[in-house]
Amino acid sequence: MQLDFISIDCGSPSKPYEDTDTNITYSPDGDYIDTGINQNISSEYMYPKYPNLPFPLSDLRSFPLGNKNCYTLRPEAGKGSLNLIRASFLYGNYNGESKLPEFDLYLDVNFWSTEIIGFARSDSMHICLVNKGLGTPFISALEFRPLNSSTYGTEYGTSASLVLFKRLDIGSSNGTGRYGDDIYDRIWSLYVSPSWDTVSTSLPINTYENGYRAPFEVIKTAARPQNGSEPLNLNWNTTGMDDQFYIYMYFAEVVHLARNQSRKFNISWNGSPLFGPVVPRYLQADIISNSRALVGKDHQISIYKAENSTLPPILNAIEVFKVMQLVESPTFSEDVEAITNVKTTYQIKKIWAGDPCGPKNFSWEGLKCNYSLSLPRITSLDLSNNNLTGPVPQFLEELKSLRILNLKGNQLSGSVPNALLERSEARLLALSCIVIISTSPPYSGDSSMELRRKIKTATEGGNFNKTGRTIASKKCQFTHEEVLEITKNFQTAIGKGGFGIVYHGYMKDGTQVAVKMLSPSSSQGPREFQTEAELLMRIHHRNLASFVGYCDDADNLALIYEYMPNGNLRGCLSDSDRAHV
C-alpha cells in the first residue's frame, strides 16, 4: 500500500516510525523544509486524555518568520502525475495562547484546502503556508498519495484541481474510516440516514475493473430507503453561485437477487436527469461520475427506483469534490532554474521557498515579477547587503526579463558577465554592483591590481552621442580634431594590441599621453570601448597609469592614458630590458 507514499510528521524530531494505527511509516520533515520551529501540543490534548489521538498529530511545525513557508515534495512519477495531497492541523494550544490562528494554504501558486487531488505541474510540488497577519501558521502532518491517472477525471484536465468536499461511506456505522486495503489511503466518513436501511455482504467484491479501488470495508455496505418508493437523497450547500462540483458514486450489488427480482434506478441532480437507468452488478464495484461540472449554490442528488424495478435503489459510497481552477501560473521555468542556482550558490539566508513569483503578493523577498505574461517573469532582483562572496555567476544572464539587478554591499569578485554589461549599456538593465576585478592598460603589459568597480545603470544620467552609445560623463571627452592635434596626425606609433594602434602624443600643457585608437579590423568594438571607458573613468590607483580621457566622435573611437616612458611591465621583467629595472 505504501508504494511511493510520502508521509510526513511535521515537527517530529525523531527518526522514521511506523504508526501503529495505520501501519504507515512516517518521516520527520527536515528533508522537505528548512524553516520553522518544532513544537508539541499541550499535554491536555494528549494521551491518556485523548487515547485515540493519531500519533502524527501530537507535534507540529510553526512558522513565526516569513510570509510564505513551503514544503517541497518530489513525486516519484514526476511532472504530469495525478496525486492526492492531504494536510492535517491540530492546534492543541501548543503556544499556550488558546487562540486559533488563521492562515492560507497554497499548492504551488494556487489556493487550496486541506485535501486536494491534482496534477503535478513540474517535478516538484510546493505546499505553502501563507501568513495573513492573523496568527502564526502551523502544520501537523502532510501526506502525499499517487493516484491512477485514469481516475477523478474532469472536463478541465490538468487546468483544475479537485478539493475534497465530502467522502461518505454509506451504510456503515462502525468502521474506522481508514483502511489498509485502500491503495490511496483515503479517509472515509461514516454516514447513515435515519430514513435508510443498511444492506451488506461478507463476500469478496471485485474492485479491480476500475482505478478507484474502493476498500472492502467501504464497498461491502450500502444503504436503501426504508420506503421502497422513496428516493435516496443527498444534499449540500455552498456560498458561491458559481461553485462547481464533481461527484463520484460507488455501486455494487451486495444482495443475491432472485430471478423475479430486479434493482434498477435513475439519478437526478436538482430534479434534472443525470444518469440512468443504472443496474448495479452483483459483487462488482462500478463508479459513476458526471462529465460536466454541477454548478450552483444548492445541490440535491436523488437516486430513485425505475418503473420496472422491483427493488429500491442503493448507494455504497460517494465522493464530492469542488473544482479549483488554477488561476495563477507558475514562474517561467528558466527563471526558476536561474534564481534557484542563485540561492544555492550564494546560500541565501532569506526565506526563499516555493515558487519565486507566486502566489501574487508573496514573491520571494528581494524579487519583483511581471504577471502580465502567460508565465510570470522575474524583473527585479535585490541582493544588496547580504555579505555575498565569490564571482558574479553566469547564470544571472538567464534571467532574460530582469530589468533591475542590485548586488551592492557584498564582497563579489571576478568580472561581471558580458551579457549583463551589454544589457546595461543598452539601457535594458539597471545594474548596480561592486566587484573585485583585475585590469591592465594595453601599454602596461600584464600588470594587474585588485580594484573596486562600480557599475551603474545607463538610465542614471548617461550622455548619448549620435551613434546611440552612452558615456557617463563628458568632462574628459575629446573630439577627433583634438586627437589629431594631440598625436600630430598620428605621427608616432608606440605599440599595437587587440584594440588597435597606440600613438604617442602631447596635451596642450605638455603632458605626454598614449592614445589608443580603435581599429576597424579590431576584434573588439564600440561596446567594449564603452565598457572600458566607463570603467577607467572610475578607477584611480597610484600603481596604475591615469586615464586622461576618450574620443567618441562618429566612427572615431580612442582612449587616452598617461604616457609611461619606461615601457610596460612585461618589458621590465624580460631579460632584454632587465638593465632598465
- Residue positions forming the annotated binding site: 516
Distance between CA atoms of residues 137 and 145, nearest Å: 24
Neighbours of 8 (CB within 10 A): 27
Instruction: Name the strand (E) or helix (H) holding 434.
Output: strand 430-438
What does the block give as the cell for 454?
562600480
SS3 content of the chain, % helix, strand, coil (to 5): 15, 35, 50
What does the block give as the cell for 487?
598625436
Pairing of strands 404-406, 430-438: parallel
Residue 275, classified by CB atoms within 10 Å of its CB into exposed (0-12), middle (13-18) or buried (19+), is middle
Distance between CA atoms of residues 142 and 7, nearest Å: 6
Phi and psi, residue 309, nearest 5°: -100, 140
Find cell 540561492 and name the residue.
343
CA–CA distances in Å: residue 14 to residues 29, 53, 540: 10, 18, 59
Find cell 591615469 and name the residue.
546
**ω into 64 cis (within 30 of 0):** no
What does the block give as the cell for 259?
430471478
Phi and psi, residue 573, nearest 5°: -90, -10
Distance between CA atoms of residues 123 and 1, nearest Å: 23
CA–centroid distance for 208 within its chain: 37
Q: What is the DSSP letter of 479?
A: -
What does the block give as the cell for 356?
519565486
Find cell 513544537 and name the residue.
39
| Residue partners of 62: CB distance under 8 A and separation at least 6 | 11, 36, 37, 39, 94, 95, 136, 137, 138
Annotation: binding site for ATP: 516
Find cell 478539493 and name the residue.
163
Cα maximum dimension of the chain: 123
Helix axes 526-536, 418-425, angle to 10 degrees: 90
What does the block give as the cell for 100?
486559533
Phi and psi, residue 487, nearest 5°: -95, 0
Closest C-alpha to 472, from 453, 499, 444 = 453
Q: In sequence order, what E strands does 22-140 have?
A: 25-28, 37-40, 59-62, 68-73, 82-88, 102-107, 110-111, 115-119, 125-134, 138-139
Closest C-alpha to 352, from 11, 567, 81, 69 = 69
